[in-house]
Chains A and B, each alone.
Chain A
Amino acid sequence: MLKITNLHKTFDPGTINAKTALDGIDLHLKDGDFVTVIGGNGAGKSTLLNAIAGVWKPDFGTIEIDGVDVTLMPEYRRAKYLGRVFQDPMKGTAPDMEIAENLFIASKRGTKRRFVWGVRKKDRALYKELLATLDLGLEDRISHKVGLLSGGQRQAVTLLMATLNRPKLLLLDEHTASLDPKTAVKVLELTDQIVHKNKLTTLMITHNMKEAIAHGNRLIMMHEGRIIVDISGDEKKNLTVEQLLNLFIKASDGDISDRMVLS
C-alpha cells in the first residue's frame, strides 16, 4: 500500500540552521496495516507524514502509494489517496463553514469540483447518520459553524472527513495530543472503530508509549530521522512500556527526551 524508499529531507540546507529531519527512511506498509509511530520530539515523525502528504518535496528517495509514484505529485492532487488528521484541531476543519459543508468538501476529495449545487438533502441525511455514530450529539448541529465546536468535537469531525471517502492511507499526527484526557480517550476509541470498520491502512503518530502498544498491529520508533525500531505481530502484542523504553535507550545511546520518559 505504502512504499517509501531511502527518503531524505533536510530543512534549510547550507545554513547554520540546516536540520536533517529524514535521514534515509525505508518503510513498507501492507494493505490494512495499522502502524503506530513513536519517537522523541524532533525525531522526524511529523516530517515523515508531511512528506507522504506532499507538503513539500523530499530531497531524495521515493514514495509510492498503492503502486503510484507520488513523490513529485502536488499535495492537493495526492489528497485523493489520503485521509489526514492533524495535531491542532483548528487545522483540519474550516471554522466559518457548516459541519455539513465541511463534510461535503471532504466527500469530494479526489474529484473535480464542478459548478453544480453542493450539499444536497440526501448528503445531509447521510452526514446526520455518520455524525450520530460519533455519539457527540453533532447530528442535530449539522448546519452549525464548525468554529462553534470544542476541540474534541472538531477532531472527531476531522476524523470523519478524513475517512468519508475511504482513503488508501490514513495519516494521524498526534491527533489526540491537544485534547483533554477524557476527550482524547474518546477520539482514540473512535479512531480504532473507524479504522477497523473500514480496514484502513493507517500511520498514527503518538507520544504515548501505552497508546502505541495498545493500538495497531505494528510499531515503529523514530530517532534523528531514522526508523530505529520496527516491531510487529506477537512481539508487538506482548510488548511492555518498559521493554519499549529499553529499546529506545539502547538504540539512541541513552539520549532520551523528557517527553518520552513521561509518557
Chain B
Amino acid sequence: MAFINALPGAVAEGLIWGLMGIGVYLSFIILDIADLTVDGSICTGGCVCAVLLANGFPVWLSVVAAFAAGALAGFVTGLLHTAFGIPSILAGILTQLMLYSVNLTILGGKSLVAIDPRANKLLVHMSDNPRSIITMGIFVAATIIGLWLFFYTEFGLTIKSTGDNPDMSRAQGVNVKLTQVLGLSISNGIVALAGAMLAQYKGSANINDGRGAIVIGLAAIFIGLSVSLKIKPNFVVSMIGVTCGAIVYYIVYNVVILLGLKTDFLKMFSAIIVAIFIAVPYIKKEYFARQRKMPSNGAKTRINGGNNA
C-alpha cells in the first residue's frame, strides 16, 4: 500500500529527472563529452527559480531565467574547453566549482530558499502529483519534439556530427568549437530547467541540491537505452527511453526507501545502479562472449556486408 501511495510522486519526480537526463544525453551521448557542469547547473536552475519566485516574479519568467542561467554555465564550460584547451572533464569540474559560489550568491548567502506554493502559482508541486505529472509530461514531450526537429536542421546535424566524428566535421567545414559550446549550452540549459522544476516540486532550493545529479542522469540514460536501443535506435525512442529510465529509477529508489534503506546510503545506491548498468554489457562481452556458438560462414559474410567492397 505504501508503495502505491509513493508511486505518483515517484513518477512526477522521475519525469523531472527524465528532463535532466535528456540534457545529460546531449552532452554525454551526442557530443561525446562527459560534462560534469550539470551537478552545478541543476542547482543553479533551482536557485534562480526559487529566488525569482520569492521576489514575486511570475513562474514562467523564473523558469526561462533558470534555463538561461544553465545555458550560460554550459557556455562557460564550452569556452574553457574550446578556447583555452582545458580537457572537457576538468572544464566541467571547474565550472561546477565556480557555480557553488554563484549559487550561494544567488541564494543571498543562505543555504536554502523556500518556495511557498500558496503565494506562488507553481507549475509543479508535490502536493498535487497528478497535475505535476501532466505538466512535466508536456514539458518533456515538448523538449523531445523540439530537439528532434533541431537535430534535423543544418546546424543541428553539425552538432550531431561533431560528437560522432570531429575530424570529419572539421574536414567538412564545421566549426567544431562553436558546435561544442552551443551543444553544452543547450544541454545545461535543459538541466537547469529540470533544476527549476525540481525546486518547485520540493518547495525549496538548497545549495546542496544537485550533488551527484550527473549520476542520476546517467542512470536514467543507461536504464532507458538498455531497453530502447533494442526496440528502435532512433532519437525519439531513445529520449522516451531516457525519460522512462528516470521514472524506473525513482520507482526503484522509492522501493528501496520503503524497504528501509538508510537515507545515508541513497547516493551509494545511485552510484551502484549506474555502475551495474555500465558493467553488465561489458561483462557480457568480456567474459561470456565466447560461450556463444561459433558463427557459421554465412553469418560472417553477412557481417562483412555481403557487398564486394
CB pair B164 A96 closer than 8 Å: yes
Question: Which residues of A have CB within 8 Å of B168?
Answer: 91-94, 102
For residue A121, CB closer than 8 A to chain B, the reply is no
CB pair B153 A105 closer than 8 Å: no
Residues A118 and B164 in contact in the complex (CB < 8 Å), given A79-B171, A136-B309, A153-B307 = no
Which of B65-73, B134-142, B154-162 is near enough to bind chain A?
B154-162
Instruction: Tell me, in angstroms, the Cα distance from A87 to B169 when the chains sit together.
Output: 16
Task: Name the interface residues of B163-183: CB closer than 8 Å to any CB of A.
Answer: 164-165, 167-176
Task: Name the interface residues of A80-124: CB closer than 8 Å to any CB of B.
Answer: 80, 82, 84, 86, 90-97, 101-102, 104-106, 108-111, 113-119
Least CB distance from A200 to B in Å reads: 16
A145-185, CB under 8 A of B: which get 1 and which 0? 00011101100100001000000000000000000001100
For residue A28, CB closer than 8 A to chain B, the reply is no
Least CB distance from B77 to A in Å reads: 21
Chain A residue at minimal CB-CB distance from B165: A94
Chain A residue at minimal CB-CB distance from B176: A76
For residue A19, CB closer than 8 A to chain B, the reply is no
How many residues on the B side are at the interface (Cβ–Cβ under 8 A)? 26
Instruction: Tell me, in angstroms, the Cα distance from A17 to B168 when the chains sit together.
Output: 29
CB pair A91 B165 closer than 8 Å: yes
CB pair A95 B164 closer than 8 Å: yes
CB pair A114 B155 closer than 8 Å: yes
CB pair B305 A149 closer than 8 Å: yes
Task: Name the interface residues of B254-309: CB closer than 8 Å to any CB of A.
Answer: 304-305, 307-309
For residue A53, CB closer than 8 A to chain B, the reply is yes
CB pair A94 B305 closer than 8 Å: no
Instruction: Tell me, in angstroms, the Cα distance from A187 to B169 when the chains sit together.
Output: 22
CB pair A105 B174 closer than 8 Å: yes
Least CB distance from B42 to A in Å reads: 27
Question: Which residues of B have CB within 8 Å of A82?
Answer: 171
Question: Which residues of A have CB within 8 Å of B304?
Answer: 150
Question: Which residues of A have CB within 8 Å of B158?
Answer: 105, 113
| CB within 8 Å: A-B pair count | 108
* Contact among B155, B161, B305, B309 with A115 in the assembled complex (CB-CB below 8 Å): B155
CB pair A109 B172 closer than 8 Å: yes
* Contact among B152, B171, B173, B176 with A118 in the assembled complex (CB-CB below 8 Å): B152
Question: Which residues of B have CB within 8 Å of A113?
Answer: 154-155, 157-158, 174
Least CB distance from B98 to A in Å reads: 28
CB pair A105 B175 closer than 8 Å: no
CB pair B171 A105 closer than 8 Å: no
Instruction: Tell me, in angstroms, the Cα distance from A95 to B166 when the chains sit together.
Output: 11
For residue A61, CB closer than 8 A to chain B, the reply is no
Question: Which residues of B have CB within 8 Å of A259?
Answer: none
Task: Name the interface residues of A57-82: CB closer than 8 Å to any CB of B.
Answer: 74-77, 79-80, 82
Question: Which residues of B have CB within 8 Å of A106?
Answer: 172
CB pair B305 A150 closer than 8 Å: yes
Question: Which residues of A have CB within 8 Å of B169?
Answer: 76, 94, 105
Chain B residue at minimal CB-CB distance from A81: B173
CB pair A183 B308 closer than 8 Å: yes
Question: Which residues of B have CB within 8 Å of A136?
Answer: 307, 309
Chain A residue at minimal CB-CB distance from B164: A94
Question: Which residues of B have CB within 8 Å of A79?
Answer: 170-173
For residue A42, CB closer than 8 A to chain B, the reply is no
Residues A186 and B309 in contact in the complex (CB < 8 Å), given A79-B173, A117-B152 = yes
Given A113-B174, A119-B152, A137-B307, 5 more A-B residue pairs with CB atoms under 8 Å apart are A94-B161, A95-B165, A108-B172, A153-B305, A187-B309
Chain A interface (Cβ < 8 Å from any Cβ of B): 53, 74-77, 79-80, 82, 84, 86, 90-97, 101-102, 104-106, 108-111, 113-119, 136-137, 148-150, 152-153, 156, 161, 182-183, 186-187
The 6 A-B residue pairs with the shortest CB-CB distance in the complex, in nearest-first order: A152-B309, A79-B173, A94-B164, A109-B173, A113-B154, A94-B165
A-B contact pairs, 15 of them (CB 8 A): A77-B173, A77-B175, A91-B168, A95-B165, A96-B160, A101-B160, A105-B169, A108-B173, A113-B155, A114-B153, A116-B153, A117-B152, A117-B153, A118-B152, A136-B309
